[in-house]
Structure 1
């Protein structure tokens, strides 16, 4: 496992005008058990040669159907997680051990109707909602828990109206 690289990735902690955070349910996990239930923050791969800020806006458009957001902060460090053993060798066709992520706090500048999960012919998400930032760790799958805890602390100042 340690011989495999991390997949370069970006993630968005998208705040609305009320200071709540966007989370979406993975379409491939609609009946997931446990507190996370398949809910997560938008995230996605960085294309070769792509700047992380460009990638996060592209990923928002691809995953949730909108670019109506602006970057308000960037976590200063790359955060990594390793896949659990049952996903190693399966996720990303076995090419990566986990992800190396650059996270951004973003302010949503649109209306709820601007979020369109149905624009992609193979949507990653099938439902979404706004939650308190403090709820993120309770939604995290175990292998992403530490990252969600770090983000909750790092971006706490943006969780107000």
Structure 2
């Protein structure tokens, strides 16, 4: 089995579909301790977030942090969670819809915009898979961070490169 993902079929002469991947930081799937544990494990394991030797950090993360923080964090998330879910995910999906509409109105070729989260769902992998499945030959990655930082933008491009 190949370690590379198959590329979608290419038709010469067809308009090239451009994909835009909007990427935000992330959010847990629910304001519950199990969902927060999964989210925090993914987020805090990123070496761009915590720059400690991995064996030492694994012991701290799994021995202490993931045993206590998810329950406290779940309580905080419940205070901002809405009936439709995570406010950050809702806002990112609204931005996706607006950008899709604006680009479709202003550009002549086909374009597809998807939203993804660096940590959590929809993941960057899921977003890139969706764009590739739609036949996007060129993909623009647009991190939704106000400034460059190794913990945000660089981490996003690390995840894109790993896909």
The reply to whether TM is greater than 0.5 is no
Indicate the structure (1 or 2) with the bigger Cα radius of gyration. Answer: 2
Indicate the structure with greater strand content.
1
Q: Which has the higher contact order (CA 8 A, sep 6+)?
A: 2
Indicate the structure with greater helix content.
2
The TM-score bracket by the shorter chain reads under 0.3
TM-score (norm 2): 0.22
